[in-house]
Amino acid sequence: MNAPMSFEESRQAGGTRETLVVIGNGMAGCRAVEEILARDPDRYAITIFGAEPRVNYNRIMLSPVLAGEKEFDDIVINATEWYEDNGISLVSGDPVETIDRDAKAVVARSGLRVPYDKLVIATGSDPFIIPVPGHDLEGVVTFRDLDDVNTMLAAAANGGEAVVIGGGLLGLEAAHGLSLRGMKVTVVHLMPTLMERQLDEAAGYLLKEELESRGQTILTGANTKQIIGDGEGKVAGIELEDGTRIKASIVVMAAGIRPATGLAKAAGLECERGIMVDDNMVSSDPDVLAVGECVQHRGLCYGLVAPLWEMCRALADFATQEPSGYEGSVTSTKLKVSGIDLFSAGDFSGGAECEDIVMRDAARGIYKRVVLKDDRIIGAVLYGDTADGNWYFDLMRKEEDISDIREGLIFGQAFASGGALADPNAAVAALSDDAEICGCNGVSKGTVVQSILDGAASLDAVRATCKASASCGSCTGLVESLLAVTLGEDVQAGPETLCKCTSFTHDDVRGLILEKELKAIPQVMQELHWTTPDGCSTCRPALNYYLLCAWPGEYEDDQKSRFVNERLHANIQKDGTYSVVPRMWGGLTTPNELRAIADAAEKYNARTVKVTGGQRIDLFGIQKQDLPAIWADLNAAGMVSGHAYGKALRTVKTCVGSEWCRFGTQDSTGLGVKLEQMTWGSWMPHKFKIAVSGCPRNCAEATIKDFGVVCVDSGYELHIGGNGGIKVRVTDLLCKVETEQEALDYCAAFIQLYREDAHYLERTAPWVERVGLETVKAKLLDDPGAIERLAARFRYSQTFMQDDPWAKRAGGERSDLHAHIAEVRPLAMEAV
Partner 1 sequence: MIGNWLDIGPVTQIEPGSARTLPVEGSDEIAVFHTMRGEFYALVNVCPHKQGPLSQGIVHGDAVACPLHNWNISLKTGNVLGEDDGCVPTIPLKVDAGRIYLLREAVLGQTSPAGAD
Q: Which residues bind ligand SRM (CB under 6 A)?
A: 571, 573, 579, 581, 610, 612-614, 616, 618, 644, 650-651, 653, 687, 689, 723-726, 763
Is the Cβ of residue 624 or residue 808 nearer to partner 1 in the bound state?
A: 624
Q: Closest approach of Cβ 92 to ligand FAD, in Å?
A: 9
* 3 part of the interface to partner 1, by CB under 8 A: no
Is the Cβ of residue 126 or residue 436 nearer to ligand FAD in the bound state?
A: 126
Out of 7, 29, 562, 620, which residue is the one contacting ligand FAD (CB under 6 A)? Answer: 29
Beta partners for 742? none
What part of residues 256-275 is at the interface with partner 1 (CB under 8 A)? 258, 273
Tell me, residue by residue from 714 to 753, as one string, x for binding to ligand FAD by CB under 6 A and - for no binding: ----------------------------------------
Listed ranges 286-294, 503-511, 623-631, 715-723: which one lies at the site for ligand FAD (CB under 6 A): 286-294
Report the alpha-carbon distance of residue 369 to residue 372 in Å, rounded: 10
Closest CA to 746 of 717, 774, 712: 717
Query: What's 384's DSSP letter?
Result: S
Q: Give the Å distances, CA to CA, from 564 to 569, 604, 631, 647, 817.
A: 8, 21, 17, 12, 10
Strand boundaries in 623-767, DSSP class E: 649-654, 688-693, 707-712, 715-720, 732-737
Report the alpha-carbon distance of residue 120 to residue 135 in Å, rounded: 33
Tell me, residue by residue from 128 to 167, as one string, x for binding to partner 1 by CB under 8 A and - for no binding: x-x-------------------------------------
* 166 part of the interface to ligand FAD, by CB under 6 A: no
The answer to whether the beta carbons of residues 197 and 303 sit under 8 Å apart is no
The H-assigned helical ranges of 196-292 are 201-213, 262-266
* 520 part of the interface to partner 1, by CB under 8 A: no
Work out whether strand 608-611 and strand 578-580 pair parallel, antiparallel, or are unpaired: unpaired
Listed ranges 59-67, 527-535, 656-664, 804-812: which one lies at the site for partner 1 (CB under 8 A): 527-535
CA dihedral 432, 433, 438, 441 (to 10 degrees): -140
Out of 561, 679, 723, 764, which residue is the one contacting partner 1 (CB under 8 A)? Answer: 561
Is the Cβ of residue 54 or residue 818 nearer to ligand SRM in the bound state?
A: 818
Closest CA to 166 of 188, 149, 148: 188
Burial 175-194 (b: 16+ CB within 10 A, else e): bbbbbbbebbbbbbbbeebb
Residue 481's Cβ-count burial label (10 Å; 0-12, 13-18, 19+) is buried
* 119 part of the interface to ligand FAD, by CB under 6 A: no
Report the alpha-carbon distance of residue 604 to residue 304 in Å, rounded: 55
The answer to whether the beta carbons of residues 189 and 289 sit under 8 Å apart is no
Out of 559, 714, 739, 799, which residue is the one contacting partner 1 (CB under 8 A)? Answer: 559
Q: Could you tell me the maximum CA-CA distance found in the chain, to the nearest angstrom?
A: 120
Binding at 126: pick from ligand FAD, partner 1, ligand SRM, none (beta carbon under 5-8 Å per type) = none
Report the alpha-carbon distance of residue 121 to residue 45 in Å, rounded: 16
Q: Closest approach of Cβ 756 to partner 1, in Å?
A: 24
Out of 20, 21, 28, 768, which residue is the one contacting ligand FAD (CB under 6 A)? Answer: 28
Binding at 689: pick from ligand FAD, ligand SRM, partner 1, none (beta carbon under 5-8 Å per type) = ligand SRM
Single-letter code of the amino acid located at 258:
R
The answer to whether the beta carbons of residues 369 and 358 sit under 8 Å apart is yes
CA atoms within 13 A on the CB side of 382: 20
Query: What's 243's DSSP letter?
Result: S
Listed ranges 74-82, 300-308, 759-767, 768-776: which one lies at the site for ligand FAD (CB under 6 A): 300-308
Helical (H) or strand (E) element with 368: strand 366-373
* 278 part of the interface to partner 1, by CB under 8 A: no
Q: Closest approach of Cβ 616 to ligand SRM, in Å?
A: 5
Is the Cβ of residue 512 or residue 644 nearer to ligand SRM in the bound state?
A: 644
Out of 10, 92, 223, 802, which residue is the one contacting partner 1 (CB under 8 A)? Answer: 223
Start-to-end Cα distance in the chain? 50
Q: Give the Å distances, CA to CA, from 33 to 7, 26, 122.
A: 16, 11, 11
* 793 part of the interface to partner 1, by CB under 8 A: no
Single-letter code of the amino acid located at 61:
M
* 574 part of the interface to partner 1, by CB under 8 A: yes
Is the Cβ of residue 112 or residue 636 nearer to ligand FAD in the bound state?
A: 112
The answer to whether the beta carbons of residues 804 and 640 sit under 8 Å apart is yes
Q: Closest approach of Cβ 566 to ligand SRM, in Å?
A: 12
Q: Closest approach of Cβ 63 to ligand FAD, in Å?
A: 5
Report the alpha-carbon distance of residue 206 to residue 193 in Å, rounded: 10
What part of residues 166-205 is at the interface with partner 1 (CB under 8 A)? 190-193, 196-197, 200-201
* 499 part of the interface to ligand FAD, by CB under 6 A: no
What part of residues 230-259 is at the interface with partner 1 (CB under 8 A)? 258
Closest CA to 28 of 269, 345, 316, 397: 316
Binding at 533: pick from ligand SRM, partner 1, ligand FAD, none (beta carbon under 5-8 Å per type) = partner 1
The answer to whether the beta carbons of residues 748 and 730 sit under 8 Å apart is no
Tell me, residue by residue from 58 to 87, as one string, x for binding to partner 1 by CB under 8 A and - for no binding: ------------------------------
Is the Cβ of residue 293 or residue 480 nearer to ligand FAD in the bound state?
A: 293
The set of residues, in sequence order, having a beta carbon less than 8 Å from that of 489 and lying 6+ positions away, is none
Is the Cβ of residue 611 or residue 827 nearer to partner 1 in the bound state?
A: 827
Report the alpha-carbon distance of residue 236 to residue 780 in Å, rounded: 58
Query: What's 88's DSSP letter?
Result: P
Report the alpha-carbon distance of residue 98 to residue 102 in Å, rounded: 12
Tell me, residue by residue from 575 to 594, as one string, x for binding to partner 1 by CB under 8 A and - for no binding: xx------------------
* 59 part of the interface to ligand FAD, by CB under 6 A: yes
* 496 part of the interface to partner 1, by CB under 8 A: no
* 812 part of the interface to partner 1, by CB under 8 A: no
Listed ranges 24-32, 585-593, 650-658, 687-695: which one lies at the site for ligand FAD (CB under 6 A): 24-32
Out of 55, 152, 164, 170, which residue is the one contacting ligand FAD (CB under 6 A)? Answer: 170
* 303 part of the interface to ligand FAD, by CB under 6 A: yes
Query: What's 713's DSSP letter?
Result: T
**Which SS3 state, helix, strand or coil, does residue 254 take?**
coil
* 98 part of the interface to partner 1, by CB under 8 A: no
The set of residues, in sequence order, having a beta carbon less than 8 Å from that of 288 and lying 6+ positions away, is 99, 101, 118, 119, 120, 121, 264, 267, 269, 282
Tell me, residue by residue from 330 to 369, as one string, x for binding to partner 1 by CB under 8 A and - for no binding: ------------------xxxxxx----------------
Is the Cβ of residue 152 or residue 257 nearer to partner 1 in the bound state?
A: 257
CA atoms within 13 A on the CB side of 786: 16
Q: Closest approach of Cβ 654 to ligand SRM, in Å?
A: 12
The H-assigned helical ranges of 181-270 are 201-213, 262-266
* 167 part of the interface to ligand FAD, by CB under 6 A: no
* 523 part of the interface to partner 1, by CB under 8 A: no
Size of the site for partner 1 (CB under 8 A): 55
Residue 551's Cβ-count burial label (10 Å; 0-12, 13-18, 19+) is middle
**Binding residues for ligand FAD, per CB under 6 A?**
23-29, 49-52, 59-60, 62-63, 95-96, 122-124, 143-144, 170, 173, 260, 263, 292-294, 303-306, 308, 336
**Binding residues for partner 1, per CB under 8 A?**
128, 130, 190-193, 196-197, 200-201, 221, 223, 258, 273, 348-353, 532-537, 540-541, 559-565, 567-568, 572, 574-576, 624, 816-817, 819-827, 829, 831
